[in-house]
Structure 1
Amino acid sequence: MYNLSMSTTSIANARKNFSEVIATSEREAVFIERRGQRAAVVVSPEQYERMMDALEDAEDVAAFDEAMAQEGPNIPWDQVKADLGW
């Protein structure tokens, strides 16, 4: 599902070899460090989209779980669809 490989490089090296950082990010995440601390990460657009989709799915599940835990009157699904014009 996800490629968990990663590389690490310094900001100075990333600046000097930016094309290489981009090429590497197509295969794995590239962490860029400043003074030995992670400052940024470069990932491919495809991996970014997968991560954002997974985050949105997780947020949807959390919202669903929260809604299901609420007590009180419920609105039947058929009524919701009718109210929305579906």
Structure 2
Amino acid sequence: MTTRELRTQLSDVLGRAMYAGERIGVTRNGKLTAVVIGVDDLEALEAFEMAQDVAAYREAKAEDDGERVSLAELRADLNS
């Protein structure tokens, strides 16, 4: 759907996203620029992202060997 179409059909698009669970892509100059989704989809996406963050944290913590590098050591290593 183009941005022009979205302007003229906004109420319908919001209803489709809210009640039918549709995900409506919006294009500008032929390129997908946004997607209209319902709140349920947004909350599910946010929960998924949070679960990925927690999993990445746990993995990083499990792999941590306790070794640390000072900023000076890091800079020296990057400059060599």
Deviation larger for 21-30 or 51-60: 21-30
Q: Which residue of 2 aligns with 1:20?
A: 12
Q: Which residue of 2 aligns with 1:65?
A: 59
Task: Say which one has the larger Rg.
Answer: 2
Cα separation, 1, equivalents of 2:54 and 2:22: 27
Specify which of 9, 29, 33 is matched with residue 35 of structure 1: 29
SS of equivalent residue, structure 1 residue 17: helix
Q: Which is richer in strand?
A: 1
Q: Which is richer in helix?
A: 2
Identity of aligned residues (%): 19
CA RMSD of superposed structures (Å): 1.4
| Structure 2 unaligned regions, length at least 5 | 67-80
Cα separation, 1, equivalents of 2:60 and 2:8: 48
Cα separation, 2, equivalents of 1:71 and 1:41: 42
Distance apart, 1:39 and its partner CA: 1.0
Question: Structure 1 length as normaliser, TM-score?
Answer: 0.71
Q: Which structure 1 residue ranges, 4+ long, deviate > 4 Å from structure 2? A: none
Aligned residues: 65
| Structure 1 unaligned regions, length at least 5 | 1-8, 73-86
